[in-house]
Structure formats: structure tokens, C-alpha cells
Structure 1
């Protein structure tokens, strides 16, 4: 058995999610700095998520067909860097929308294929996935805290250059990772075709639940920073609060191998969705109380940490070796569909209905995901 390239895999997750840590809390703030309205901000944030509906499936099919997953990762990272650099040319709405679409099309080529490479390197040791993936959370924490402080000292005009530095790190780390090809290993599937595996009981319900829970994250991902800034929190404090949520996520990743040995994926997903529903209500109504806000951010351990780790395990077990890329890509695509719809509704309802009702809608979506999981998925331990 070949040695696991732990640090090479971990370095890629570190930079990849450092970019997410630099964009999720602060991209809407930058768009507001450019003078865009809440509706326009929601649309711009939704564009990369909409690209997740298309791009991962295109690249996933190409990865399964050619087997050249690492080449796709490297190509996507390079093109994503080149496309995002175009934001330095102009900041009009149409131009920024075009840049976000082009950059996202290539950026979303990267992670689903890299997930397959990582799981292949693990050679059946799927419980160790969380130990590698937690470095993505560490990258997110470092990025969100450092940028929160920097944006108190420097102008938001410098924000795009900071993102380009992280994108360069993604490109560099992708060239350090060794390739790995999935092979047939007795994975339990209903048939050889992707569609036959997709329509098995519980699999479709899982993917619909993924879309619903990502829709529920719309107000959080799009407007939390602006919401907290409006409540009087400083950008440095907001960065720390974002980081607190991801620290909770890291701790959950460290525990997930034990959790999944004791509880089924269905039980973990149901619990995650119920906690998400409560979290959105707290953020929408009581975020001005710091103690409650801290509790809500600690809930990120469930609303993303346990949800994502169990979801990746579910996808890995639900598809055969030649459909792994498409399975992970569909997970990314439906996450993007839900996330885009969440960003769009949040953008249109933020000024019309206010934060409380916008987060209440998110809570209902999380409840729907929990009900669907409870009624349509079957018990299955990792």
C-alpha cells in the first residue's frame, strides 16, 4: 500500500477553503462597497452558485470519461486565477457578473475531482477523510480572521488583490499533489450505470435534501456580515465570529469518524438539519445578543461539519468507481442550485421583509430537509 500523501492533500484543502473564507464573509461587503443594492448583491453572489449547477457535472463527466482528474484540477485552478484577475479591469455590474461566471465555471471544476483523488488515496480508509478535510477549515479560519483585521486597516479596494494571492496558492498546491485513479473495490451498487445508482431508494431524497439545506444557507452566506455590521459589530469581531463557527466545524471533523461508527448517516443528517433550522431563527432574531450569537456560530459544527462529512461518505458509498466523479459533481451541483436560490431569495427579501423573516424562510427549508431525510432515507452505517 502506497504511503498516504497527507500533507500534499492537506495543503490543497488549506488554500482552496482559504479562498472560501475570503469570499463567503466579505464578498457581499465588497459588492456593497462598490455601490450595488441588496438585490444586485444577491444576484452576484448567486452566479458562482448557479455555476455549480452546470460546471461540476461537465467536469465530472469529463473526469470519469478520461480519468485525468488531476489534470482537470490543475487546469481549473489556472483558468480560475486568470478569469478572476479580470476584475481588476472594471467594476461595473455587467463586467463583475461576467467575471464571477467565468471564474466560477473553472473554480467549480476543481473540488469534486479533488475529492475523488483524496478518497482514492485513502484506499478505503474513508474515516480518515475528515482528518485531511479539516485543513480546509483551518485555511478558512486563518483567511477569515486575517482578512477581517486587514479590512479594518485597508480599503476594500484592495480586496481583489488579496483573493488573487490565495488563488495563486491553489494553483501551486495543485501541482504538488500526486495523481490517483479509483479502481473497482466491491462497492455496493445496484447497477453499472450512473442513473441506475442515482435512482436507488434514498439516494434521490439525499440529493434533494442537499439542495434544501444549501438553500437555507442563503441569508447566512450572503448577508451575515452586513447583518452583523448593521447591528454594530466591527469587521474584526465579525471575522472572529465566522472563525468561531469554523473552529467548531474543525472539532466536528476530528470527531466524525467516531460519530459515523456510532450513528447512521441518516441520523447524522437529520440532526444536522434540525440544528440548522434553530440556528437560522437565532441569527434572524437574537443576533444582537453576543452570547446567543456565539451559540449560533458554534452550531456550524452541525449545519456544515457533520452534514458535509456524512454527505461525502454517503456519495462515496452510493456510486461505483467509474461514477465517483459524477456523484461528487452532482452533490456540488445541487449544493450550488440550492445555494443560488437561497442567495437570490435572500437578496430580494432582505429589504422587503427584513432579516427576521428572511432567516425564518431559511429555517423552514432546513425543516423540510429534515422531514425528507426522516421519511425517505434508510438507515445505513459507514
Structure 2
């Protein structure tokens, strides 16, 4: 008989396994692709296509779930599917076609884990008052552990181990999800009467349009950062282990920002703003410092080079 645990512990373990693996995949997978002799343009093509399939996978698999009781079962299937596709990519990395197909499948099943996990957390929040904030914080901490700890492991063992590390973490996630939460998520009884709003109607709202534009710009910059930051740092001679530390520090800074500056980031009640005016100069200032930051990294790297 499977061990029974509380919903909080089950979701915490699920987020721990998922985001620890994601913390290895997101920053370090481009380094593995480069180690497999793919150039920057090909890596960009692979990762850009992967984002398209992440979008498709999140919608497709979430749409298959009609009852709350199917959330846990779907998360279990997705964890093992992600493990299998990652193993296939590791085995067939020499073939671009097979690698492309494997990455697209992985992107679909991996992306679906986020909204489905959030849906499960929301269901338990309504059902038993689960503290979603604490559970999500565990996920953020797991991401930091994944990128920092396994960044050191990859730095020691080499980039060729990256897909096997990710597959192992996903398998561990699948094993942890075999535990039985008690109580199980229940379907909400009764019919919800909600007005259906079409996509075209939403686009006619200027606030929605501006919000979509802002999100598109943010996600676009993130995509470029995720794809090329590690490659850029490697071109400066920065090792994968140090790259893991940089990523871990950035996530820790992100967490600290949102927990320590609530007044500065508070959105004003005015309908003319959908983002805090105080946040804009902060973001602009950080962006303007990035070239200086990279320059200092380059200087530090020069200092570590032995004279010929």
C-alpha cells in the first residue's frame, strides 16, 4: 500500500522534483546542445520551436482534464513522459531530426506540468485552505538547488551528463508523485454561471492590449536570455559551474525583491496603469547596468588567465 501524505507535502514534493529538474534544463540545456556540436543559430532554432510546443502542450494536456480527480494522474504521466523523452534526446542527439522531435515532445509534456500543478494547488486551496504561497516558494528554492548544485556536478563531470541528470531528476519526481495524498482533490459540485468573453473582445480593451504587449516583450527577452546567456558566458570563458551560481543568485534576488519591496512594487489603483511606475525605472536601471556587469565579468575572467 502506498504511503499516504498530506496534500501540502505531496504538492511540495511534486514542485521540488519538477522545479529541480527544470532548474537544470532551463539554463544548462543550451550548453549541452553546444557540446553536441550544434551552432548558436541551430540552438536558437531548437529553443524557439520548443517554446511554440510548450504553448501547445500547456493548452492541449490541460484541456484533456475534465475532473479534479484526474489532475494527479496526469501529473504522474507527464513526469514519466518527460523522463522518457529526455532519455531519447540523450541517445539520439547525433540526429537533428530525432533531437528536434524529442525536444518538441519534451516541451509539450514538461510545459503542461506547470498549469496542471497550479490547478491542483488551487483546487486544494479551495478544498482545504492549502497555503499555495509556501508550496510555490519550495518550488523556487528547488530551482535554485537544481541550477546551483547540479551546475557544480556538470562542471565536474562535463556537459555530456546534462540530459541524464535531468532524466534522473524527472524519474525521481515520478516516484515521489506515486505517494498518495489524503484527501484527494474533489470536483466542485454545482454549475458555475460565468459570462463567456471572446478573445477578440479582450483585444478591444486597451488595458488588455497593453498588458499583452508588455508580457510579449518580457517573455521575448526571457527567451533570448534563456537561450544565449550560458553560451555567452561560456564565450567569455566562464565555466558551467559558475554559470549555475549566477543563475541561482538571480533567482534568489528575484525572490528577495518580491518579499522585501512590497510597497515599491505595489500596483496603484489607477486604471491607467497595469504595472507599477516605480518598477519601470528599477528595470531600466538594471538593464542599463547589464553591459557594465558583463564587462566586469570579462575583466574578472582576464585576471584568471595564466600568462603565456
Instruction: Name the TM-score class by shorter chain.
Output: 0.7 to 0.9
Whether the aligned pair in 1 keeps the contact of 2:58 and 2:111 (CA below 8 Å) is yes
Within 2, Cα distance between the matches of 1:104 and 1:163? 13
Within 1, Cα distance between the matches of 2:287 and 2:128? 34
RMSD of aligned alpha carbons: 3.6
**Which stretch has the larger CA shift, 202-211 or 51-60?**
202-211
Cα displacement string for residues 296-351 of structure 1 (whole angstroms, at most 9, x for unaligned residues): xxxxxxxxxxxxxxxxxxxxxxxxxxxxxxxxxxxxxxxxxxxxxxxxxxxxxxxx
**1:133: how far off?**
0.8
Correspondence list, 1:79-94, <5 A: 79-91=81-93, 92-94=95-97
Cα 1:127–1:79, aligned 2, differ >3 Å: closer, same or farther? closer
Among candidates 113, 128, 133, match of residue 130 of structure 1: 133
Among candidates 158, 174, 178, match of residue 175 of structure 1: 178
Cα displacement string for residues 120-171 of structure 1 (whole angstroms, at most 9, x for unaligned residues): 2122999943322111111111111122212222122222111111111221
Whether the aligned pair in 1 keeps the contact of 2:67 and 2:187 (CA below 8 Å) is no
**1:207: how far off?**
3.9
Secondary structure of residue in 1 paired with 2:295? coil
Whether the aligned pair in 2 keeps the contact of 1:4 and 1:122 (CA below 8 Å) is no
Among candidates 147, 159, 164, match of residue 161 of structure 1: 164
Show structure 2 runs of 5+ residues with no match: 301-308
Among candidates 202, 211, 220, match of residue 199 of structure 1: 202
Secondary structure of residue in 1 paired with 2:18? helix
TM-score, length-normalised on structure 1? 0.64
Correspondence list, 1:299-338, <5 A: none
Within 2, Cα distance between the matches of 1:229 and 1:289? 15
Whether the aligned pair in 1 keeps the contact of 2:21 and 2:143 (CA below 8 Å) is yes
Q: Is 2:247 the partner of 1:245?
A: no
TM-score, length-normalised on structure 2? 0.78
Within 1, Cα distance between the matches of 2:54 and 2:283? 22
Cα 1:115–1:207, aligned 2, differ >3 Å: closer, same or farther? farther
Whether the aligned pair in 2 keeps the contact of 1:80 and 1:106 (CA below 8 Å) is yes
Within 2, Cα distance between the matches of 1:213 and 1:125? 35
Partner of 1:19: 21
**1:232: how far off?**
3.4
**Which stretch has the larger CA shift, 174-183 or 4-13?**
174-183
Within 2, Cα distance between the matches of 1:81 and 1:24? 15
**1:185: how far off?**
10
Aligned residues: 286
Whether the aligned pair in 2 keeps the contact of 1:28 and 1:222 (CA below 8 Å) is yes
**1:43: how far off?**
1.3
